[in-house]
Amino acid sequence: MSVRTLVVLAHPHLAASRINAALAATAAGTEGVTVHDLYAAWPDGRIDVAAEQQRLLAYDRVVLQFPFYWYSAPPLLKQWLDEVLTYGFAYGTGGTALHGRTLRVATSTGGGRDAYRPGGTNRFPVADLLLPFDATAHLTGMRYQEPFVVYGVLDMTDEQLAAEQARYRALLLAPAADGEGPGGVAGAAAQDVVSEEGAPVAAGPAAAVV
Ligand SMILES: Cc1cc2nc3c(=O)[nH]c(=O)nc-3n(C[C@H](O)[C@H](O)[C@H](O)COP(=O)(O)O)c2cc1C
């Protein structure tokens, strides 16, 4: 069965976006990938938690895509994590719904690659700044995949952007790794919790924005 991927897009000003709008368009046009625009879905900030949890069950891979804002994600994505990854669903007793699925961050930075290193303007690698997502994946029994980072977007040429879109598409199309998919156990935290649920089976629509 082909891999089902949900791109959870969080951009507060998507109409003014160049990079994330382009990447989201690439994702939406990629087989097996659905783009879920959080700011469009919940413009008043009132997230339907049950609907979001149900949506997650239909996918093998979750990609959190956003512009890097103050070394982190825009606020609606943090709220989404706070409200959707509940005890008993994503962690804690019976909280096995996300086990074995994969989590990846896809982000764009104004700073260049060279700024994200010890001694550079931003001091730390982007992967280090994103460690809370790694820890979140671990606690929820998800497999954390290396972040997809588009650096130095402020002066990026159309050709460079097209190359990044191609790189994103290839990553989204990557075949499933051994044992990848719902029901598996990825993180140590997941092993503390006995699974009481079978693997979810609902299929996600291909090449769609919801
Ligand atoms: C509020 C705000 C905070 C930002 N913080 C950062 C940051 O911490 N690091 C960085 O490299 N770029 C930062 N930027 C630049 C954005 O990451 C950049 O504008 C964005 O990736 C461009 O993507 P877009 O075309 O989809 O909007 C920030 C931009 C804004 C508006």
Three-class SS of residue 64? strand
**pLDDT on residue 14:** 98
CA 131 to chain centroid = 13
Q: What is the pLDDT of residues 130-164, one digit of tens each?
A: 999 999 999 999 999 999 999 999 999 999 999 99
Phi and psi at 108, nearest 5°, equal -120, 140
What mean pLDDT comes out for the span 180-207?
Answer: 45
Mutational test site, ligand 1, from 37, 66, 70, max ligand atoms within 8 Å of CB = 70
* Residue 20 Cβ < 6 Å to ligand 1: yes
* DSSP code at position 37: E
User: pLDDT tens-digit profile of 66-113?
Assistant: 999 999 999 999 999 999 999 999 999 999 999 999 999 999 999 999
Question: Which residue lies with its CA nearest to atom 15 of ligand 1?
Answer: 110
Atom of ligand 1 nearest to the CA of 150: 21
72 φ/ψ angles, rounded to the nearest 5 degrees? -160, -160
**pLDDT tens digits, one per residue of 26-75:** 999 999 999 999 999 999 999 999 999 999 999 999 999 999 999 999 99
Q: What is the value of pTM for the model shown?
A: 0.90
Structural domains in the chain plus CATH codes: 5-209 (3.40.50.360)
